[in-house]
Amino acid sequence: TPVGKFLGSLKGFSATELGAIVVRESVKRAGVPAEDVDEVIMGCVIQAGLGQNPARQAALRGGLLPAVSAVTVNKVCGSGLKAVMMAAQGIQLGDTDIVVAGGM
């Protein structure tokens, strides 16, 4: 997702709204059918006020099916990187094939 500044041009968007844009565009640009995505793993540093499981919200708003699992990683500055690491590990182990991962 884009990096903004306090009260900057992105202030009207929640993290989950930005995450949904990224999920939708990542799947579209990769040329992957939405139904082929196995999981969404997204880091989110400040979850206060976003509701339950921001990664799930981003996945659903991003056009993925309700059957796609999603997990939110909260690890302060390293949450997005940890999300990508978890996705890579799942693929390496053969647990998943296609994962959308990042930070929001």
Over residues 93-100, mean pLDDT: 98
Q: Rounded to the nearest 5°, which phi and psi values hold at 2?
A: -70, 155
Local confidence band at 6 (pLDDT 50, 70, 90 cut-offs):
confident
Domains of the chain: 15-103 (3.40.47.10)
pLDDT, tens digit, 9 for 90 and up, residues 27-62: 999 999 999 999 999 999 989 999 999 999 999 999
Kindly compute the dihedral angle of the four CA atoms of residues 42, 31, 20, 38, in this order, to the nearest 10 degrees.
Answer: -40
Local confidence band at 5 (pLDDT 50, 70, 90 cut-offs):
confident
Query: What's residue 36's pLDDT?
Result: 98
